[in-house]
Amino acid sequence: LDTDHQQVIELTKQWLQDMVVGLNLCPFSHTVVAQSQVRYAVATGTTDAQWKAFYVTELETLLNADETDIATSLLMFPKGLHAFDDYLDLLDWLQELLEQSDLSDHVQLASFHPRYQFDQVAEGDLSHFTNRAPYPTIHLLRQAQMSQALAHVQNPEQIFVDNIATLERLGRDHVEALCPWGKP
């Protein structure tokens, strides 16, 4: 990997460790991170066609790998997609491809962006930081693993509510210090 890609991966790993695992924003992430089962893939392209080809390749890599080797994949897009709306357009296409390929029973997408903004939520709300990452990132999750993990969770919707409470308890200064790229 070249230096730029290594820096993208290192900053993403730091975010994962500090925010996602560190604050327990995803209660299922600790194990796969601790066991080095996360694949970090950096997109080199800057066009829709290149991003889509990258996604298809990474989707195939995940589906063809043993889940003990690659449990989940983070696809980072460091060039382009800085505008959140452009990112959402690509995300919609990727989700559509997943459904058209009958793969939505096997893989689900989670999305992260430095300027992540939940629809109809005030711009300055701390809840946005639950999905803010250093780079536009698509998380490929194995559906079977998610179903298995969620089977042990009484109220999965409570995770998001608890995450917001965690961020509010920490306060804006602390949260922004953990992810300075996500400041409004």
- Residue range 114-136, pLDDT digits in tens: 999 999 999 889 999 999 999 99
What pLDDT score does 153 carry?
A: 64
Backbone dihedral angles phi then psi of residue 82, each to the nearest 5 degrees? -70, -30
Sequence-ordered alpha helix ranges (H) in the chain: 3-15, 29-34, 48-64, 84-100, 143-150, 157-170, 172-178
Whether the CB-CB separation of 75 and 41 falls below 8 Å is answered with yes
pTM: 0.91
Q: Give which of 11, 90, 85 is closest to 50, Cα–Cα.
A: 90
What is the separation, in whole angstroms, between the first and last Cα of the chain? 31
According to DSSP, residue 20 is labeled: I
pLDDT, the chain, mean = 89
pLDDT tens-place string over residues 37-77: 999 999 999 999 999 999 999 999 999 999 999 999 999 99
Q: Across the beta sheet with 107-112, what order do the strands follow?
A: 38-42, 72-76, 137-142, 107-112
Distance CA 184, CA 176 (A): 9
What pLDDT score does 1 carry?
A: 53
